Structure 1
Amino acid sequence: MNERIRNILTILTKRPEIKMAELTAELGLTRRQINYAINQFNSELITQKIPSIERNHAGDFNVPLEVLQMLATQQKQTMIPSDDERAALLSMFLITNIEYVSVDHLSEFLGVGKTTVAEDLKRADQLILKYYLSLKYDRVKGYQIEGSEHKVLQLLADLVKRYPVFKREEMLGQLSIQVSKEEVIHLIHNMEQMLHLSYSDESLEYLKTTLPLLLARGIAESKLGAADFFEGEVRDTPEYRFLNVLIKETEWQLSSSYLEWMTLLFLISNIFEKKTTQEFDSDRRLKELIHEMVTNFEQQTFITIEDRENFERRILNHLRPACFRIKYNLSLGVYSLDSLIQDSNHAILSDLMKELIVPTENWLRRAFPNDELDLLSYYFGFQLSNQHLIKKQKPRAVVVCTNGVMVSKVIRESLEKLFTELQFLSSFSVRDFYQFEVDYDLVFTTIPLETDLPQFIIDPIMTYKEQISLRYRVLNELGINEVDQSVDRLLGIIQKYSDVSSSKELKEELQYFLLQEKQDSPLENTKVLPALTYYLKPNYITVIEEEILWEDAVALACKPLMDNQIITEDFLSDCLQQIRQPNYAGYFGEKTCIPHTTVEHGIQREGISLLISKKPIAFPNRKGIQIIFPLSFLDLTKHLKAINQIADISTNQEFLKELFSKNETKSIYQFIRHFT
C-alpha cells in the first residue's frame, strides 16, 4: 500500500460521506489520481478476495468491513514503540515478572532482535538507576530488577504517568496476564459504590491502567511471602477497609503492604462527585486549612462565594487526594494542563494559588509542584464558574461485538470520535458483558442483548447519516440532547414564512445540521482573559464635578449598565447594602470602589461602567473615593484580568493624576485602553 492510497483511506474510513470535490481539495490531487489510486487498491483487494471500495448514488464512499479489519491489523503491526518507549516497556516487563527474564523473553515481548534488546537494556538501566534500583544479571537465568520494593512501585506509577503506551490494551494484556480488565473495572465500580462517590474520568483511566500492573507484581510477590515494605498511614482510611473486604472476594492474594499501596492508588485519585456529606476525623485539619484558603481567596479577588459550605466540601474532595499524592510523591496520569487552564479561563488563578497554598504546604512539610498547583487552580476556578451548573460526569459505555477483537477496536474508536460526551471503558464479548454489565451505563452492540441497560444496535460500518442518526438517538435517550426544542422552533419559523413540501424530511435535515454544528463547534479561544476595555465602553463612563452623596454616586455609576439592560435595580440595592457593612472590602487603594454582587442579584449580562468624581466622596468605610467601577459578571473568574488592571490603575498615582485632568469620556476611554 503506497502513501497516496494510505492518505485516501485514512480520510474515507473516518468520513465516508466526503464528496469527491472535498477529497481532491483536501489531498491536493485530481479526481483522476484519486480514482486511479482507489482502483489500484481495489485490484489488490480482489486478489485477496476482499470486497472493493465503492461509491453509492449519493456520492458517499462505502468502505467494506473486511477492509477495516485489514487496516486495523496493519495498524497494529505499524505501531512500533520508540527507543524510550521500549526501554519503559522493558522496565515494566521486569517489574511485572518477578522471576529472572531471559534476553529471548524480552526479544519476543518487544518484537525486536537481541542486539536491539541489548541497547534497550542499557537505556532501562539508566532509567531505573534514578530510583536507586539496579539490573541484576545472571548468565544462566537472565535479568531481574533489584532494590527497594517501595522504589519499584514508585517506578511503576511513574512509568504509567509518563508513557501512554501502557494504555494500549494489547500491551496491558501482555504485562498483566493474570488480571483481566473486566475484573479491574468491576473492582473500581464496587469501590465507588461502597464509598458513595464517583472518580473523575482521568482517575478512572489511571486506575484502569495501574491496578493490573500492580496486581501482576503484588500477587506474584505475595505468594513468595513478601516482607512488609510500606510505612504509610493509610490503614485508618475507609478506602483501606473497603478494599480489604473486596479483595477477599477475589482470587487475588495480596500481602498487607501491597494492599496498602493499592489503597494509596485510590486515595490519590480525584473524585468527580461525592454522594454523601460524611467526613472523617483525619480530614479535620485539612478542612480548617481550606476554610482559611477560601477566606483569603474572597479577600483577594472580591468574589463572594455562594453556598460556601458546599464549595469547601468540593475543594476538600480534590485537595485530599492531592495531599496524598504530594505526601507520597506519586503522580496521577497525564493531564493536558495547558489546555485545561486555557479552556477554563482560569490561567490567572495559578499565581494566586501559589500564595493560598502556603499554609497547606507548611502542614504537609512538602511543597506543591507546579502541575498540582495548575490542577488545583483549574479545579478552584471550575467550581466557581459552574456554581449554577456543575458539569455532569460522562456516562460510561461499553462496546459488545461478535466480529472479533480488531473490528471491536475499530467500532470503539469510531464511537469515541462520535460521542465525546461518553466515556468508553471497554470492548467485550457477549459472555464477558453479561458478567460485568452492572459496571456500565449503556451499551453499543452488534447483536440484541438481554439487558436492562440502554442498548443501541449498530452496524460495524455506518454511513455519515447513520452516525448522525445514532448520535441523535443516544443523546436523546440519555437526556443530554438540546436539539429537539431548537428544531421545533426553527421549523415553526420556516413554515411561517414559506411553503414546506415535506415537514418530516426538513425536520430530519435540521436535526442533522444542528447535531453536526454542535459536535464540530470550535472551542472558544480563551487563552487570554478579556481586558478591562473589553467590558468598559466609552458610553459607560460618567464624569461629575459637583459634590454628591455616596449612594447617589453608586446609583449614577450603575446607570449606564441599567440603561443597557446589563443589570437591574436589584444589583444596585444589593451593592448599597454591602457597602453599608462595617467589613466591606470592595475598595482598591484610597480612591477606588468596585461595587459587585452575585448572579441572582440582578446580573443579566457582563459589563463594567465607570464614574469619575473630581471631588472626593465620603463612603461608609473610605473617605476619599473618586473612582467607582461597578462590575457585572456571569462567570465569577472571567473578570480577573480586568480586576488586576483596575488594581493597577488604582495604585498608579501618575496615571490617576492624568486621569482626573481629563473631562471627555472618549479621551478617558482611550487613555485607559492605552494603559491596559
Structure 2
Amino acid sequence: MKKRNLQIFFEIIRHPNLKSGDLENKLHITRRQLTYALSQINQDLADQQLPKIERTPRGEFITSNKITEFFNLETVTDINPGTYREEKERILITCLYLLTSDELISLTHIYDLNKVSRTTAFADLKAVEKFLDKRNLQLKYTRKLGYFIKGPELTKRNVLNYLVTQLLLYDDGHSVVEQISQVTIEPVIHFIHSFEHAQKITYSDESFNFLMLIISINVTRNLSHLLENAHYFEHQIDDTQEFIKLRQLIPNEWITSNSDAEWLIILLLSANTIHGGINITNETLINVLQVMVDKFEQRTFIKIADQNDFVNRLLTHLRPAIFRVRYNLHLQDIGIDQIVISNSQHHFLMETISIIIEPLEKLTGKVFPTNERNLIAFYFDGELEKFSKLHTSKERAAVVCTNGLIVSKLMIQNLRHLFPDISFLSATSAREFEHFPSDYDLVFTTIPLKTNAKQYIIHPLLSEAEQAQLRYQVLNDIGVKNIQLGVENLMAIIRKNAKIVDPEELRKNLHQFLADQTIAELPKAKQSSLVSFTAPYLIQVGDVHDWHEAINQAINPLVEHDYVTNDFRTALIKETASPENYSFLGTHVAIPHTIPENGVLKNGFGFLILKEPITYPNGFKIKMIVPIAVKDTDKHLKAIQELTEIVSNKTLLEMLYNSENSRQIYNILENYGSKNS
C-alpha cells in the first residue's frame, strides 16, 4: 500500500469507532481523497482475498476479523501507525540488513525488523527477490545460512550506495541506517573531516551527511564476514598519488583488504564539494574540460572572463561526477530540481551540455545520465554564481550531554528545530567528544569542555525565554543573521513613522520576532504520546527512604508486566550509583534509562511519585522517578517531549505530586496528551 493508504488503513483498524469526518480532520484530507484511498485499500485487500472495509450511512467503518488476523495486528496494536512503512521502504531496509548483518537471518528477523506480520514479511521477501534480480543479484535461502544475497561483491557495494541514497528520502531513513550500522558515528565524522583537511576541500552538507552513513555501512559490511571475494575493487586507484596520501587516514580496523581501502576512498572522491582544489594535476581531464568550455562559448556567445580559473573550478566539481559515472555511484540530491524548475534557460543549457559533453563521455567510457548533465549545466550557468548561493556552508555542531541517550536525542531534535541554519552532526558524550574536539565548529553542551570550538553551555530543558536568548546569541555569533543590526534598522524606521512609548520593550519584542524567523517548522509528529507508553498498573505513589529502594520499586511493575528483565534493573542501579552517570529533568525528576540490550523487551514508562523526596548520589532531592524502557529508539521522542513540558509546568507538576493514586496520575497525563494532540 501507499504511505497515506497505510496510515488510513491502520487508523481504521486501531480505532473501530472512528467516523469518516474524524479521520478526515485527523489526517487533514478531503472526503474525495478518503473515498479514493478506501477504493485502493479495498482493491489491495481483494488481491489478498480479504473482505473489504465497509462504511455505514453514518460514516462508521466496518472491518472483518479476518483482516486483523491476516496482518497479525493483535500483536502490534500498541504501535503507532507511523511505525508501518510502505513496501518500497521495507524492501530497502531488508536489503540493507541482508547485506550487513552477521546473523543467520530467518523470516522472524525480517518481520521483527519492519514490525509487520509473517505474511507481509514473506510477501516483502518476494518483492526483495525481484528488486535484486533487476540488479544481477539473487536472494538465497538455506537452513544452514538462512536468507542471504548472492552475487558479485562490487555489485553489492553499488547497491549499498543506492539503498542509503533512497532511504534518506524517508523521514526515518537516517535513523534506520544508523541502527543497522555497527560503527560508532563519531570516528566516521572525524575520518571525513580529516579527508577534507588533507584534500583542502569542503563537502556540501548533504554530501557530508550521506558520507557519514555510507562509510559506516561499508565498514559494517567489511567487518561482517559476508565477503566471498576480498579483491572486488583491486588496483583501481592504488597507484595514484591520492590513494598513497589518503590511505593512511583509514583506521586499520575498518578494512580487511586493499579493495576495502580503495572503495572507501572512491566514495569520498565521488561526493560533491562546495569549494576546494584538486591537489594533483590531471592534464588529460583539464584538456577535455578546456575543449568543453571552448564549445560552450561558441554555442552560447558567452565569454567566460577567466577561462583557466573556470576550468579549475569545473575540475573540482566534475571530478567527483566522473568517479560516480565510472563506478555507477548514485548522485546525491543537492536541490538541483528546484533550480531547474525555476530557471527558464536551463533547458537551453541542457541541450548545449548534451552537445559539448562528448569528450567527457569518451574519456570515461560511459554515458552521463540526465541528473549528472543537469548538474554540469548548473555549473556552467552563470559561471557557478547560483551554485555558490545554493551551497552556503553551514556551521557543523555537536551536542554533548551527560544525561544519557534519551536526553541527548531530545536536545539535538530541539536544537535542529531552533537552528535550521546549523548542521547538527551528532549527539555524543563528553568522553567521546574529547577524542574528536576539532571536528566541529560549535558545541552545545551541558558541561564546560576543553575545545577551541565555540561552545554554548545550556540546560537540557530550556524555557521559551532561554530558547529566545540562545537563538539571539548564537545567530549573532555565527553571522547567520545579524539580528542586532536588523533591530536597530527597524527601530529607526518606526521612529520616523510612529511614537515609541516603551523603546526597550519594543526592542525586546523585535529581537524575539527576528530570532523566531529562523525557526524551522517541524513536521507533524507520527510518534505516540506519553500516555500511550504507560498504564495505571505502571504508575505508583510510594513512601521510601533511599534511592536504591526507590528505583527498585519504580522498576517492579515493568518487570512484572514483561516490559523489561531483571538485567534492566541491575543496569539502572549500577548506573545510578555513579554521581556522573544518571539522567534527570530539572533537579527533582529522575529518568533512569539504558540501552535496549540491557534487558528491554518493549516500550514502557514507569512512574513513581514520592510522598517525601529522596537524595540521589549527586545530592538532588528527587520527588518523581520515571524509569524508561525503550526497545525501538526514535519512537519515543514525542513522549519525552511531553514529559519535559509537564516537568517545566509547575501547575501540572504539583498536580502529579499531590495525586493520591495511579488513576489520578494517569488521568493527568491522558488529559495533557489529548489537549496537545
TM-score (norm 1): 0.60
How far apart are the structure 1 equivalents of 2:388 and 2:96? 45
- The structural deviation recorded for 1:419 is 2.2
Matches within 5 A, 1:236-255: 236-247=239-250, 249-255=251-257
CA deviation vs aligned residue, 1:256-285 (integer Å, no higher than 9, x gap): 1121111211121112121x56432xx212
Corresponding position of 2:261? 259
Task: Give secondary structure in 2 for the equivalent of 1:435.
Answer: coil
- The structural deviation recorded for 1:353 is 1.9
How far apart are the structure 1 equivalents of 2:371 and 2:391? 22
Confirm whether residue 145 of structure 1 aligns to residue 160 of structure 2.
no
Match for 2:357: what amino acid? I
CA deviation vs aligned residue, 1:9-59 (integer Å, no higher than 9, x gap): xxxxxxxxxxxxxxx9x999xxxxxxxxxxxxxxxxxxxxxxxxxxxxxxx
Task: Give secondary structure in 1 for the equivalent of 2:253.
Answer: coil
Corresponding position of 2:233? 230
How far apart are the structure 1 equivalents of 2:440 and 2:342? 29
Structure-2 change in CA distance of 1:311 and 1:419 (3 Å): farther
Aligned match for 2:274, one of 272, 275, 293? 272
> Which range moves more in the overlay, 80-89 or 450-459?
450-459
Task: Give secondary structure in 1 for the equivalent of 2:481.
Answer: coil
Task: Give secondary structure in 1 for the equivalent of 2:303.
Answer: coil
How far apart are the structure 2 equivalents of 1:137 and 1:416? 43
Confirm whether residue 504 of structure 1 aligns to residue 509 of structure 2.
no
How far apart are the structure 2 equivalents of 1:76 and 1:422? 31
Corresponding position of 1:217? 221
How far apart are the structure 1 equivalents of 2:80 and 2:439? 28
- C-alpha contact 1:203 1:332 (8 A) present in aligned 2: no
- The structural deviation recorded for 1:91 is 1.3
> Which range moves more in the overlay, 463-472 or 138-147?
463-472
- The structural deviation recorded for 1:483 is 3.2
CA deviation vs aligned residue, 1:412-444 (integer Å, no higher than 9, x gap): 233323323211111112222222222111012
Corresponding position of 2:70? none
How far apart are the structure 2 equivalents of 1:493 and 1:213? 55
- C-alpha contact 1:87 1:120 (8 A) present in aligned 2: yes
- C-alpha contact 2:419 2:518 (8 A) present in aligned 1: no
- C-alpha contact 2:400 2:446 (8 A) present in aligned 1: yes
CA deviation vs aligned residue, 1:474-508 (integer Å, no higher than 9, x gap): 12111333333333233334445655444333223
Match for 1:258: what amino acid? D
Corresponding position of 1:375? 375
Corresponding position of 1:333? 332
Structure-2 change in CA distance of 1:432 and 1:326 (3 Å): same
Match for 2:185: what amino acid? K
- C-alpha contact 1:346 1:378 (8 A) present in aligned 2: no
- C-alpha contact 1:346 1:377 (8 A) present in aligned 2: no
Confirm whether residue 157 of structure 1 aligns to residue 156 of structure 2.
no
Aligned match for 1:185, one of 179, 182, 189? 189
Corresponding position of 1:650? none
Structure-2 change in CA distance of 1:363 and 1:186 (3 Å): same
> Which range moves more in the overlay, 496-505 or 259-268?
496-505
Structure-2 change in CA distance of 1:411 and 1:346 (3 Å): farther
Larger RCO (alpha carbons 8 Å, 6+ apart): 1
Confirm whether residue 317 of structure 1 aligns to residue 316 of structure 2.
yes
How far apart are the structure 2 equivalents of 1:469 and 1:304? 50
CA deviation vs aligned residue, 1:341-366 (integer Å, no higher than 9, x gap): 34567634323222222221222222
Structure-2 change in CA distance of 1:278 and 1:191 (3 Å): closer
How far apart are the structure 1 equivalents of 2:446 and 2:367? 51
How far apart are the structure 2 equivalents of 1:285 and 1:76? 57
Structure 1 alignment gaps of length 5 or more: 1-5, 7-23, 29-73, 522-676
Residue-pair matches, total: 447
Structure-2 change in CA distance of 1:284 and 1:166 (3 Å): farther
How far apart are the structure 2 equivalents of 1:460 and 1:75? 28
- The structural deviation recorded for 1:516 is 4.2
Structure (1 or 2) with the larger CA radius of gyration: 1
- C-alpha contact 2:167 2:174 (8 A) present in aligned 1: no
Structure-2 change in CA distance of 1:114 and 1:239 (3 Å): farther
Matches within 5 A, 1:401-412: 401-412=401-412
- C-alpha contact 1:472 1:481 (8 A) present in aligned 2: no
- The structural deviation recorded for 1:255 is 0.5
How far apart are the structure 1 equivalents of 2:146 and 2:422? 45
What percent identity do the matched residue pairs reach? Answer: 35
How far apart are the structure 2 equivalents of 1:270 and 1:465? 39
- C-alpha contact 1:412 1:427 (8 A) present in aligned 2: yes
- C-alpha contact 1:269 1:321 (8 A) present in aligned 2: yes
Matches within 5 A, 1:385-464: 385=385, 392-462=392-462
Match for 1:290: what amino acid? L
Task: Give secondary structure in 1 for the equivalent of 2:148.
Answer: strand
Task: Give secondary structure in 2 for the equivalent of 1:311.
Answer: helix
Structure 2 alignment gaps of length 5 or more: 1-6, 8-24, 30-77, 522-677
TM-score (norm 2): 0.60
Task: Give secondary structure in 2 for the equivalent of 1:396.
Answer: strand
- The structural deviation recorded for 1:331 is 0.6
How far apart are the structure 1 equivalents of 2:382 and 2:518? 22
- The structural deviation recorded for 1:136 is 2.2
Structure-2 change in CA distance of 1:87 and 1:225 (3 Å): closer
Structure-2 change in CA distance of 1:439 and 1:318 (3 Å): same
- C-alpha contact 1:200 1:272 (8 A) present in aligned 2: yes
Confirm whether residue 86 of structure 1 aligns to residue 86 of structure 2.
no
Q: Cα RMSD between the aligned structures? A: 3.3
- The structural deviation recorded for 1:149 is 0.8
Match for 2:238: what amino acid? R
Match for 1:409: what amino acid? K
Corresponding position of 1:480? 480
Corresponding position of 1:174? 179
